Structure 1
Amino acid sequence: MDAEHFLPFRKSAVISLCAEELPDAERASFLEFARLLAALLHHRFHVRGDSVLDAYQLVDPAEDERTIRAATPRDRAAARATVERELVALAEAADFTRIDAAEIERSFAEHSLVKVRLEIDDDDIDTAMFFRRGVAQRTEKVKWLYGLRRRSVEFTSYSKVLVYIAFTERPQATADRPNGGVLLKMFQNVPRNDLEMLYPRVRVRMRPLDKLLIGVPAVISGIIVLVTKLIASLGLLVLLLAFWLGLREESVLLDQTALVTLGAGVAAFGGYLVRQFSKFKNRKITLMKTLSEHLYFRNLDNDAGVFHHLLDAAEESEVKETILAYHFLRTADRPLTAAALDQRVENWFRARWETTFDFEIGGGLRTLRELELLTEDDDGTLGAVALPEAKQRLDRRWDNLFRADIPISSAASAGS
């Protein structure tokens, strides 16, 4: 797979790594700049979160919250469009990658790490979106030879998987098939070949091995029951059938011994069928238990909580990208192009921290440009505003944040 945009360092770690490269006299000032920048971006995402959560409340109302007016179908349709648009945007901002249909189909075809065969019921699914973040190769011990031994299996795992399912509007709703609505979940440590387990409605199907484990012993035990319990009863039944069909003239005497023999044989055969059916049901229950435990320990968040998770992750990602872009532009010995800046950040993490990722330079530069912390020359090279001036501009923006909606240009000219 291509390198991900996700940088596996916390925001505080990235700020500390940049600060450690600065002279002692600049370190405290840079940390103050980083705190101001983080506070401004936090407010921006707070406002954005309120908007998307209001829309999500119309799409999937919380049972413990009341609404001031009933939503119309048009309101819900507009809210769902907002939810889906913001979900995609926030997922991308949080460095999630959209899982395409080919990758999902491959997970259905390949061998699952959990020994469960599934069939998806997608008749009522209108829209399905899967996102992943944090691709890693892992090794896990799995049972082999009917649990007698264990072997190591290497597989691709996703640190986090985001699932969005929107259901089709139906004339009549039931408990298991709701009318419209959405399902939003986030999972962690999901093997790539187990993506089908994350669908909301799946049916457990017997694998060929499961059928053999039940079928072969059933055939053997059936033969034993037939030979030891039913042979006398079958002979009696054959004679009765031949007499009733006119193939035998001599009548069959049904005395007490014959009736007892016949009843014992039928009871034995009935008990055998009940035992085999119970084995089949118990095997299916075991598979369902395996599936439930697999999902339970991997479930990370649900419903509106997923948006809170995404907002935090997107905010942290934007702070990291902006800090890195500003730091490397400011400490460069000459103006840099966007491509050169991108390469410089990636090389620094690869050389010093053995971390490979695809730095998303566009997000950091866009934020610097919006906050007027970026200088751009006619030849396309970029630079950063000096640290004291950058702090003043952020401080003015923070002071004016709750006064009025002052345009960026006006706020900048007011302090000059």
Structure 2
Amino acid sequence: MAIYENREAFIPYRRIDIIELCLQDGCLNAVDIEKFKDFCQILAAYYHFRFHKTLEIIKDNYVPFNPSADVQSLNEPTFDQYDAMESKVVDSFHYILERANYIPLPELIVKQALNKKSLIDLKTQVDFEDFERFFCYYQGETTNTVLFKKLFFWQKEKIIETFERIVLLIKFKEVAYFRKKKIKIEELNFTPGKMYVYFYKNIPKLDIDLLFPNVVTSMTWKDRLLFGIPAIGAAIPLLLKALPNLLLLIAAILLVFNAKSLLISLGLVVEQYKSQNVMPILVAALSLAIALGGFAVQQYNNYKNKKIKFQKDVTDTLFFKNLANNTSVFQMLMDIAEEQECKEIILVYYHLLTSQIPLNPQQLDSRIESWMEKKVGIKINFDIHGPLNNLEEIRGKVLGNRKEVDNISEIPLLTYDRQGFCHVLSLDDAKTVIDYVWDNAFQYNGIAL
């Protein structure tokens, strides 16, 4: 069984497409084709039921941590219950992402990506100390070539690494932590103590920082210079032009406060300013206020326009690439995990059923990977152990005469012989076993088939 560093276990095709690919091989006759479809149908129903139980566990325990919850518990959980509920949500989160063939992204890798310059021309900062828990998973890593504008018409190509899908779970620390930091709770973009879950698509590695609720953005030094230098350049001629009016206003103020000595030290003629009537002084003050006020308004508008542009860039990154938030993330991931689990089992069962020679796990793994590459041209690192374990765990009774049900032992869908080769039940027996498991999922009447 080969191990590939740059391949993923994720199968990027629908379950119905995988079934159709199997049937296109021509290894099953018309009768077996219908039986195989029936097997896949009941298998999907069984796993839908299994994953639904996991979803119910999450729904029951996520309520006190959900920042957008529209329901609440009748009784507040105790501290012990609170911790237990949090652990159940986190454990379920890991479980469904592993079943969905998503890859964990270590916190160290995320921090390294944050230290690099973002695609959006912003300076960003994320305080990981705000997090009580933080987990990140991704699926699909691709590279794209992007053109960056450098100076005037000069453009530079840059290769950007992108995550096709990325999932974040962030549990913030409680209110006391932020109060200790002298932070106003009402000014935060998040609620302390809550658990935020995000699901995004096509996010460049350099833009991961924008996904965090506590990200702080500011202008880069380049933008500050581009904003500040023109402002200084425009301010100098304005001040020179307004200087006479400014001197007149200063002199009038000094005279009001009887500061003749200061006027003389500045080289101003006291009698000249005494002979001035009030109107020129008022005109000077008004024109100075208009000039400086207009300049201030212009610079403030420039700053606001720059800020709006930054906000638009961030919105384009987040809004149009957001797939789900909080509770809806768990629901979407549950569906993905269910599909992945079924597709893997179907592939394993089909290839063992149609193989002319016995196969051990390593041979079966290589066979499926080669088959997928031949059929659809993709290279995957098939996770053979998961579906083999699942097939072995599905146990039921192949019933001949229902009166003899108590004397019949449960048998698994998959077994191993002494040489380590894998064997699966026939289509008829496999359908019967899963049907038995399905019929006995609930036994409220106390009767087992």
Specify if TM > 0.5: yes
CA distance in 1, matches of 2:88, 2:193: 16
**Secondary structure of the structure 1 residue equivalent to 2:265:** coil
**Secondary structure of the structure 2 residue equivalent to 1:268:** helix
Does the CA-based 8 Å contact 1:160-1:190 persist in structure 2?
Answer: yes
CA change 1:238–1:378 in 2 (3 A) is farther
Q: CA deviation at 1:250?
A: 6.5
- Mapped pair 1:220 → 2:260: no
Q: CA deviation at 1:69?
A: 2.7
Tell me which residue corresponds to 2:13: 9
**Secondary structure of the structure 2 residue equivalent to 1:159:** strand
TM-score (norm 2): 0.82
1:166-177 alignment, distance < 5 Å: 166-171=171-176, 174-175=185-186, 176=188
1:2-401 alignment, distance < 5 Å: 2-21=6-25, 22-25=27-30, 26-60=32-66, 63-139=69-145, 145=151, 153-171=158-176, 174-175=185-186, 176=188, 178-230=191-243, 233-234=246-247, 237=250, 243-244=261-262, 247=265, 251-252=269-270, 253-254=272-273, 255-256=276-277, 257=280, 260-261=283-284, 263-371=286-394, 372-401=412-441
Write the deviation string for residues 165-220 of structure 1: whole angstroms up to 9, x where unpaired. 10112247934353412111211121111100110122221012321221121121
Does the CA-based 8 Å contact 1:94-1:315 persist in structure 2?
Answer: yes
CA distance in 2, matches of 1:405, 1:104: 53
**Secondary structure of the structure 2 residue equivalent to 1:187:** strand
Does the CA-based 8 Å contact 1:373-1:390 persist in structure 2?
Answer: yes
**Secondary structure of the structure 2 residue equivalent to 1:189:** strand
**Secondary structure of the structure 1 residue equivalent to 2:175:** coil
Q: CA deviation at 1:62?
A: 6.0
CA distance in 2, matches of 1:144, 1:381: 61
CA distance in 2, matches of 1:166, 1:405: 43
CA distance in 2, matches of 1:332, 1:211: 67
For 2:198, the aligned partner's letter is K
For 1:30, the aligned partner's letter is F
CA RMSD between the two structures: 3.0
Does the CA-based 8 Å contact 1:376-1:382 persist in structure 2?
Answer: yes
Provide structure 1 residue ranges, at least 5 long, that are not aligned to the other structure.
Answer: none
CA change 1:62–1:191 in 2 (3 A) is closer
CA distance in 2, matches of 1:401, 1:250: 100
Q: CA deviation at 1:72?
A: 2.1
Q: CA deviation at 1:149?
A: 8.2
For 1:385, the aligned partner's letter is L
CA change 1:383–1:242 in 2 (3 A) is farther
CA distance in 1, matches of 2:298, 2:247: 21
For 2:362, the aligned partner's letter is A
For 1:311, the aligned partner's letter is M
Q: CA deviation at 1:23?
A: 2.9
CA change 1:247–1:405 in 2 (3 A) is farther
Does the CA-based 8 Å contact 1:97-1:132 persist in structure 2?
Answer: yes
For 2:164, the aligned partner's letter is S
Does the CA-based 8 Å contact 1:374-1:384 persist in structure 2?
Answer: yes
Tell me which residue corresponds to 2:409: none
CA change 1:67–1:333 in 2 (3 A) is same
CA change 1:266–1:66 in 2 (3 A) is closer
Does the CA-based 8 Å contact 2:11-2:380 persist in structure 1?
Answer: yes
Does the CA-based 8 Å contact 1:106-1:193 persist in structure 2?
Answer: no
Does the CA-based 8 Å contact 1:37-1:319 persist in structure 2?
Answer: yes
TM-score (norm 1): 0.88
Q: CA deviation at 1:368?
A: 0.6
What is the aligned length?
Answer: 408
Q: CA deviation at 1:39?
A: 1.2
Q: CA deviation at 1:229?
A: 2.6
CA distance in 1, matches of 2:67, 2:155: 46
**Secondary structure of the structure 1 residue equivalent to 2:54:** helix
Write the deviation string for residues 110-146 of structure 1: whole angstroms up to 9, x where unpaired. 3322333322244532111111112222345666657
Write the deviation string for residues 247-283 of structure 1: whole angstroms up to 9, x where unpaired. 3686433224456335533542343233223322331
**Secondary structure of the structure 1 residue equivalent to 2:164:** strand
Write the deviation string for residues 364-392 of structure 1: whole angstroms up to 9, x where unpaired. 10111011111202232222222222122
Does the CA-based 8 Å contact 1:120-1:196 persist in structure 2?
Answer: yes
CA distance in 2, matches of 1:229, 1:281: 26
Higher-Rg member (1/2): 2
Q: Give the stretch that moved more between structures: 243-252 or 307-316.
A: 243-252
CA distance in 2, matches of 1:273, 1:392: 81
Q: Percent identity?
A: 29
Does the CA-based 8 Å contact 1:122-1:201 persist in structure 2?
Answer: no
